[in-house]
A and B are shown apart, each in its own frame.
Chain A
Amino acid sequence: MITTLKGTTARDIQNAIMRARQNVGVASGLVFTLLVVAPASDYDEVFDACVEAGREHPSRIILATDGSARTTRLDAELHVGDEVPGEIVALRFHGELRDHKASTLLALLLPDSPVIAWWPREAPEPVASDPVGALATRRITDGMGCADPLTRLLERAQGLAPGDTDLTWTRLTPWRAMLASALDIHQLPVTAASVHAADDNAAGLLLASWLGSRLGIEASFTGNAGPGITKVTLTTAEGDISLTRTDGRMATLAAPGAPTRAVALRRREMSALITEELRRLDSDQVFLATMNHLAATMMPGPDAAKE
């Protein structure tokens, strides 16, 4: 059921949600409130990602976008009970209200349950001090959704607050899983590590930082034409363990004393990333350590990325 409200207020929206719920008979049991702040141009993709996320995590999802500068007004569109188990509230802030989103959002948070904020594109820095970010206990940004991913990631590494995460890290999970299980099998000390990825691939840089912090060695990051991460090599006394992916979909794993094997390692779309990200709401210590490592080794500037 879709309800459209023009020139509305948080109270009217709240009432409309209650009515909609009674009409479609949706049970409660929503697990959290997700605040999404996105540019209007990305509305469709972000909305689809919200539907996917809502499917696995029944929740109240509030999608906030900016409207025109001319009049000060709030428009809302409620989606209750049709394609999602929870609720999706799409809000469009016009005029002055664009700078006071938090006042409306605060009134619409679900009682008790956690609040998560997500910026699929550019995010205010530091997010924790942003009025919307301050409403949330968990703030999800996406360095790779920004115009200059490497710089963004490094900035973020310096100003990280508890509860901040970045989808750049989420993108790495399959790579990290594959590399960790390769070491489960080939139990050898790693003497050197290198990551090759597209020039502006923040995930590649972060992966190198993770390898560096975990292995206690210097892991190099080398830029190329991509797509995404193209190759990771762990050097051991018996030979290299390498994971190579040139087409962004299919990788090959080579290791000493084992046949070369194919591994599906697809670049994932936004909905898969946010769904994974929402699965755990506790703080991610390994991410913090990796970002701290990045801040410590890569400063002062992004140009220091080593060959």
Chain B
Amino acid sequence: MTDASFVNPLRDETDRRLPRVAGPCALVLFGVTGDLARKKLLPAIYDLANRGLLPPSFGLVGYGRRDWDDEQFADYVLQSVRERARTPFRAEVWRQLVEGIRFVTGAFDSDDGFANLATTLADLDAVQGTEGNHAFYLSIPPDGFDQVIEQLRRQGLVDKQKRNPWSRVVIEKPFGHDLASARALEEKVSSVFSSDSVFRIDHYLGKETVQNMMALRFANQLFEPVWNRNYVSHVQITMAEDIGIEGRAGYYDGIGAARDVIQNHLLQLLALVAMEEPASFEAGNLRAEKEKVLAAARAPRDLKSHTARGQYTGGWAAGEKVKGYLDEDGIDPATHTETYAAFRVDIDNRRWAGVPFYLRAAKRMPRRVTEIALMLRPAPHLPFNLNDTEQLGSNALVLRIQPDEGIALRFGAKVPATPMEIRDVTMDFNYGTSFAESSPEAYERLILDVLLGDPPLFPQHTEVELSWKILDPILDYWARKKNAPEGYAAGTWGPPSGNTMLERDGFTWRRP
């Protein structure tokens, strides 16, 4: 029934109120009992339905080992929706949603389970009118990917060539654990799905964040002139979490901070902040710019001086007594997995040559914050006494990603009623103090984009591979070193080596 030449008379480009509602489809969720599904995905699906963005012909299929029937699964979904949904609970929305909820019991390698899944989906297509469009969301550990993808292929649930009906797959980070494994994963996935049907989800980079950053950089005249090596001395990208590993020992140990978040989130942030202006915000153009800047970025030459890693030790963090990493349940006491990773990245292009980008990601920091700080060079000449400007630091433009997204500009101002004393002040813009309350959760945008088939902001495999190319030399160096990561007390800003890394270049970490 879909015909490219058909123009829907009810649509109009200038009709900006009309939301894009996803077409008929079913979402198959693997890993329904996981934290992510319970806390984020299921509530996000309800929120989308509540905002009227899901089609009436929508199916939600859970697949897992639990011996549940459809109703038990629906109860489970309902519970998570009631606990976590952002928008108010409405019985009629739930009634619409529940009609398409199904559960299939099976293991990731079970032929019977996947055969049942195929039957269930065929049934949904008939009863709910989902028309054979299926999205598979793999919210599962990476070692399950192979089995699931292989089973989907075997049951004929995906057809790489077919565009209509479509099948899409969503995978969560980590996308491999180094370049070689990322390539192997890519090979596997691309043997079954075409590349524009693969959505690699990086939830920290919600679409809103990316779009906010694009708007700041490319809709304004004010910032672009200083956005280069002439004015910026260095850039600091921080992602600090105040929590420990919170029972995710099995996942975290052996992975560590660099693989867990730097490879995907921080290098994506770096790409967005450092890239050139894309020709348009169309998927391909944006990706081309990100790929270009990632290809120009590299690990530091002197790995010894410009990388740092650490492990948190027990102590008092933010008023609570917490365990050290090695004492956490399920952690090998001899493990060298880092919970703090920091290193320098250099970008060899005209805009950024000689401007180091310092990346750090860690757990058990004093507070949760993700931000990008562009630190500006000092003024070439200060017509003041030395004493006047003692309190003056360097100007900074800080893009705060979370929590409470915003932009802060730090500059010097005279302290009133002094002869002449200059001190740093901050001009702070928030995207609204309570914005978070009504602005959509990142997962809502992500899921909707998958259902609409809108890929622009999802990294493609080239980007993933380019990030591994930057990270691999550092990981290899750490693996070769054989000694344990440096300890840092929980609730502090990381080990001394993290600070000396910047001091060598004449800088210090800003306190976020």
Contacts and interface: CB of A to CB of B under 8 A. Distances in A.
Interface of A: 26-27, 29, 55-58, 84-85, 170, 173-174, 176-181, 183-187, 190, 211, 214-216, 249-250, 253, 258-259, 261-266, 275-276, 280, 282, 284-286
Contact of B18 (A27, A173, A262, A282): A173
B179 interface: no
B438 A177 contact: no
Given A176-B17, A183-B11, 20 more contacts: A27-B433, A85-B432, A85-B433, A85-B435, A170-B17, A174-B52, A176-B10, A178-B56, A183-B9, A186-B1, A187-B3, A187-B8, A214-B9, A250-B92, A259-B127, A261-B57, A261-B99, A262-B95, A264-B93, A264-B95
A183 B10 contact: yes
A184 B18 CA distance: 13
B8 A56 contact: no
Nearest to B12: A286
Nearest to A53: B438
A173 B128 CA distance: 24
A134 B153 CA distance: 64
A36 B444 CA distance: 32
Closest A-B pairs by Cβ, 5 of them: A85-B433, A261-B56, A187-B6, A180-B10, A264-B93
Nearest to A183: B8
Contacts, number: 128
B413 to A, nearest CB: 16
Interface stretch (B19-27, B242-250, B460-468, B488-496): B19-27
Contacts of B432: 29, 55-58, 85
A294 B17 CA distance: 19
B96 A55 contact: no
B430 A27 contact: yes
A85 B9 contact: no
A183 B12 CA distance: 13
Interface of B: 1-3, 6, 8-12, 14-19, 21, 23-24, 49-50, 52, 55-57, 90, 92-93, 95-96, 99, 126-129, 131, 428-430, 432-435, 437-439
B437 to A, nearest CB: 6
A264 B96 contact: yes
A85 B434 contact: yes
Contact of A29 (B2, B8, B429): B429
Given A29-B430, A55-B438, A261-B129, A181 B21 contact: yes
A258 to B, nearest CB: 4
B434 A264 contact: no
B90 A187 contact: no
Given A258-B57, A286-B12, A184 B23 contact: yes
A264 B88 CA distance: 14
A280 to B, nearest CB: 6
A250 B90 CA distance: 11
Nearest to B407: A29
A163 B209 CA distance: 30
Nearest to B10: A180
Contacts of A211: 10
Given A173-B17, A216-B9, A253-B56, A259 B428 contact: no
A273 to B, nearest CB: 12
B93 to A, nearest CB: 4
Interface centre among A183, A216, A263 (most CB of B within 10 A): A263
Contacts of B14: 285-286
Nearest to A255: B129
Nearest to A288: B14
A164 B8 CA distance: 27
B96 A179 contact: no
B19 A177 contact: yes
Contact of B435 (A56, A84, A177, A286): A56
Given A249-B92, A250-B95, A259-B129, A27 B9 contact: no
Contacts of A178: 21, 52, 56
A56 B437 CA distance: 8
A286 B95 contact: no
A211 B127 CA distance: 29
Interface centre among A185, A258, A264 (most CB of B within 10 A): A264
A266 B11 contact: no
A259 B430 contact: no
